[in-house]
Amino acid sequence: MHEHSIDRSTNAGSAPAAIKDRRKDSLFRVKAVQVRTGLSVATIYRRESQGSFPKRTAIGRRCVGWYESDIEDFVADPFNYRRP
């Protein structure tokens, strides 16, 4: 049996990044993100570019989604959310 290790080292002594298990995480399309957060599409994309909203992930050539757990983290504290 092989043991796999994950390098959790970081630069300049900052805290290690948390690694999320995405195997059971759903992907939300933009309409579901709007409903869950109450934000407009423009605000979602603007906050994402500023780093104050979860980053989207490509799920097709012209299709993106957001992980449900990332949206839940945002909804829990939207004013202090910062992308890891």
- Residue-wise pLDDT tens for the chain (84 aa)? 444 434 333 344 445 557 888 888 999 999 999 999 999 999 999 999 999 999 999 999 999 999 999 999 999 999 999 877
Strand order in the sheet with 27-28: 27-28, 63-67, 57-60
Radius of gyration of the chain from Cα atoms?
Answer: 15
Q: d(Cα 70, Cα 27) in Å, to the nearest integer?
A: 10
Distance between start and end Cα atoms, the chain: 33
